C-alpha cells in the first residue's frame, strides 16, 4: 500500500505544482517535499479530508467574513479550477481582493513567490482592521485571551 500511495502522491504533486506542464517552474525539492508530507499521513486521513472538502457546503461561511480577504489562485490550477472556488468565493465575501495569476498551478506560493509577495505586501499595507471576534476580547491580545480560555478549561 505504501508503494502505491507513494506513486499516487508523486503523481498528484506533479498536478498540484503544475510540473506536468511545459515550462513549469517547480524544483525537484518542492516535489520531494510534497511527497514527504504525503507519506507522513494515513491514506484514511487523506480520504476523509477530500471527502469533507467535496461534500461540505461552505456557501454560508464566506458571507460571514468581517475582515479584508486576499483571494489567491493560480489560473492553471488542475486540482481546484479557479472558476469553481476562488471567483465564486470572492463574490460571497464582501470586498475581497481577487488575485488570479495567469499561468501558476494550485501550488502557486512556491512556484511564483515574487509575484505573490508583492501583491500580498501591497494588500497588507492598505491596512487591516481588527476582526469583530478579536475586538470582543476587550483589548486583550488573541494569545492572552487563548491563554485565559485554556486556564479556565483546566479548572473544570
Q: Is 95 in contact with 71 (CB distance < 8 Å)?
A: no
pLDDT in tens, 29-75: 999 999 999 889 888 998 999 899 889 998 999 999 888 889 999 99
Contact yes or no for 26/32 (Cβ under 8 A): no
Q: Which residue has the higher pLDDT, 82 or 142?
A: 82
Q: Where are the domains of the chain?
A: 1-56
CB atoms within 10 A of CB 99: 19
Helices marked H in 18-131 — which ranges? Answer: 28-39, 43-55, 60-63, 86-92, 108-111, 113-125
Kindly report whether the global pTM for this prediction surpasses the value 0.85.
no
Would you place residue 105 in the very low, low, confident or very high pLDDT band (cuts 50, 70, 90)? Answer: very high
Amino acid at each position: 500500500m505504501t508503494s502505491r500511495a507513494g506513486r499516487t502522491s508523486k503523481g498528484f504533486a506533479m498536478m498540484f505544482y503544475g510540473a506536468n506542464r511545459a515550462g513549469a517552474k517547480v524544483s525537484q525539492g518542492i516535489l520531494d517535499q510534497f511527497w514527504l508530507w504525503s507519506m507522513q499521513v494515513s491514506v484514511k486521513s487523506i480520504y476523509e479530508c477530500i471527502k469533507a472538502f467535496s461534500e461540505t457546503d461552505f456557501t454560508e461561511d464566506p458571507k460571514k467574513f468581517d475582515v479584508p480577504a486576499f483571494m489567491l489562485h493560480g489560473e492553471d490550477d488542475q486540482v481546484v479550477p479557479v472558476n469553481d472556488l476562488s471567483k465564486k468565493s470572492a463574490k460571497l465575501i464582501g470586498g475581497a481582493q481577487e488575485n488570479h495569476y495567469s499561468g501558476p498551478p494550485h501550488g502557486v506560493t512556491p512556484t511564483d513567490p515574487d509575484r505573490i509577495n508583492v501583491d500580498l505586501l501591497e494588500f497588507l499595507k492598505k491596512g487591516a482592521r481588527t476582526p469583530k471576534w478579536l475586538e470582543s476580547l476587550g483589548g486583550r491580545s488573541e494569545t492572552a485571551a487563548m491563554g485565559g480560555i485554556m486556564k479556565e478549561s483546566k479548572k473544570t
